[in-house]
Amino acid sequence: MNRRDSGILVFAELRGNEIHPVTFELLNKGREIAEKMKVELASFILGFRLENKVHELIYHGADKVYVFDHEALRTFDVVLYKHNIVNLVRKIKPEAVFFGATQIGRSLAPRVAAALNTGLTADCIDLRVNEKDEIIQIRPAFTGNIIAHIKTKTRPIMSTIRYRVFEKSGRNRNRKGEIVKMNVEVVNSGIRVIKKISEKKINISDAEIIVSCGRGLKKPDDLHLIKELAELLGGVIGASRPLVDDGWISRDHQVGFSGNTVKPKLYIACGISGSPQHLAGMRDSKIIIAINIDPSAPIFRYCDYGIVGDLYEIIPKLIEEIRRRREKNGR
């Protein structure tokens, strides 16, 4: 097989009617890997009426886009999607297939991997190419206490990669690429959508402002302080792993290796010591403010502004001052 036919394949996920931003992050990393390995970067997309979306994948780095456009794919059906993706992978035999570690990606990738009898490395935080042109998948292991470097023997290599760990690819309208329209095989998955319910769920990775809390909180009821400050700033609540493990707050609020990677404009760490596991999930925030009673807490080595003191004294004062200024400005 010509090596150009054995390249990198990226799943283009749709969020509602738009391409999920994680797709452009994977295309950026995929472009880097493809150039190092001197192979083709392709993407594939499934849905209905995709004409306006396909070219965006080329503008963001894909050399080729495989398009599955059919009314049966209007709603995500994991069995139907898996069936057509497996057919594609068997046909083109890529070296690697990358999915975003989103709700859809985490549901779809294991099924595709199982059908192809290949391995899957989940929740990767980086991908590299070694001196032998082998892809190395990097992910936290043992609850984030170590970073594993994984080389997969089976082919294709398959990975799910966390959202916000890579930069998005640039958009170049002058890029040219090939569009391949695929025949959609409609199979009866046994799944029938009876009713769609919109569930309000936090997506902390998209937040521009995050107020996070850790072991400095004494009891679950005190989360109202963090929530009040976050709402005043137009942000969301984040949390370190211990609070999630203790059941104080749901896992979708967790920041760190075993939670979410975030890159907000403002990150306020309240009562968070700054373990390596937590820092890895938020250290790329534009501005980091730390509030901690312990002046030797590691978080102070990474923050832009540090306040040594009791969060139970400082946060109420911050809330009071924000309210005072808003009232003064008539907001």
CB atoms within 10 A of CB 52: 8
What domains are there in the chain, each with its CATH number? 3-181 (3.40.50.620), 204-328 (3.40.50.1220)
Query: Tell me: the pLDDT tens digits for 117-129?
Result: 999 999 999 999 9
Distance CA 280, CA 302 (A): 11
Q: Calculate the average pLDDT of the chain.
A: 92
Query: Tell me: the pLDDT tens digits for 272-292?
Result: 999 988 998 999 999 999 999
78 vs 199, higher pLDDT:
78
Give residue 154's pLDDT.
95
Q: Is the pLDDT of residue 61 over 60?
A: yes
Give the confidence band of 95 by pLDDT, cuts at 50, 70, 90.
Answer: very high
Burial class (CB in 10 A: 0-12, 13-18, 19+), 219: exposed
Mean pLDDT in residue range 259-268: 94
Give residue 176's pLDDT.
95
Distance CA 289, CA 303 (A): 6
Query: Tell me: the pLDDT tens digits for 212-253?
Result: 999 999 999 999 999 999 999 999 999 999 999 999 999 999
Give residue 305's pLDDT.
97
Distance CA 155, CA 158 (A): 8
- DSSP notation for 231-250: HHHT-EEEE-HHHHHTTSS-
Give residue 4's pLDDT.
43
Residue 28: strand, helix, or coil: helix
Burial class (CB in 10 A: 0-12, 13-18, 19+), 43: buried
Against a cut of 0.75, is the pTM above it?
yes
Query: Tell me: the pLDDT tens digits for 300-318?
Result: 999 999 999 999 999 999 9
CB atoms within 10 A of CB 113: 24
Q: Is the pLDDT of residue 3 over 50?
A: no
Residue 138: strand, helix, or coil: strand
